[in-house]
Structure 1
Amino acid sequence: MLNSNQWLHRHDQFVTQSQALLHRLHECVTHLEMIADDEDAIACLQATLLSLTEQAAGASLDAMAAFTLQLQQRLARLIDSHGLSLEAIATLRHCLGLLAWQLELIDPHTGELPLDDDDQHRLLARLGDQAATATPPGVSQRD
């Protein structure tokens, strides 16, 4: 973790960059709600999640970095195997809401994020469940 002086110097920059990345992620999700299999929106989503993971890791926000990395990995598996359902996209939107909330709760003086990770685990488990129960592309629900 960064010390207090290092964090104070990085805080505004980190928050500004992370908010811009979250905004871009919300735009990707909004587009995916209209066209769930849009390759450009999916690529943007994955690249932006990677950037947010790197930003959080660079700011020594390990819990946030781990969450965004796991989110990126679960989404990649879901996209590769089944595509994104509207339910998965809604869960993704909830994940982004949690990230935005966490960003607001980072202590501006110490960089600490005083939260447990229960909500993160629940949302990631929901994405995992959706991947397990999704119908593969090209297969109808009745097959």
Structure 2
Amino acid sequence: MMNDGKEWQLALPEFLHEAEKLLVKSEECLSHLHLIRNDSDAIDCMKISLIKLAEKADSLALQAISEFSRHIQYLIANAESPLQLHDQALDALEECLKLLAWQLELIDVKTGQLALDEAEQTTLIATVTLHIPQKDFSVKPQQRMHHAS
């Protein structure tokens, strides 16, 4: 783990700069999707930006940020209809990006710790999942029938 000493303090500003650029890029893609729903380039761009953010967060052992980024990316990648995200889905994704930006600001520059109540992440992921129906790989037929009634 790199979260101690001078290496961490030197690496953090570069990470934060990169992370901010990746979040801005994701936000631009999201804004674009508000205008043009079926833009696969914007969706791919957002997924790539979130994966890059997760990888960079991993390199600094910022697990909460990397896992949240990956989870958001997965929900987009696993969407039943990724080219038909409605306003509520896009708004929920926007809230996730805002939380990521806020979390980046809360990283302790000396220790690399992120004091975090994961409840907000969990709530936002649940909201995104609610608004972005997922491809269903694991539900048994009898469960699927139960959900339909």
TM-score class normalised by the smaller sequence: 0.7 to 0.9
Change (3 A) 1:79 1:39: farther
Change (3 A) 1:86 1:55: same
Matched, 1:33 2:34: yes
Task: Report sequence identity in percent.
Answer: 35
Partner of 1:52: 53
Superposed CA RMSD in Å reads: 1.6
One-letter identity of the residue aligned with 1:76: A
Partner of 1:42: 43
Q: Report the Cα offset of residue 25 of structure 1.
A: 0.7
Runs of at least 5 residues in structure 1 that lack an aligned partner in the other structure: 134-143
Change (3 A) 1:82 1:29: closer
Number of matched pairs: 133
Contact 1:74/1:128 (<8 A) preserved: yes
TM-score normalised by L of structure 1 = 0.87
In 1: Cα distance, 2:80 partner to 2:47 partner? 10
TM-score normalised by L of structure 2 = 0.83
Partner of 1:87: 88
In 2: Cα distance, 1:131 partner to 1:82 partner? 11
Change (3 A) 1:132 1:56: same
Runs of at least 5 residues in structure 2 that lack an aligned partner in the other structure: 135-149
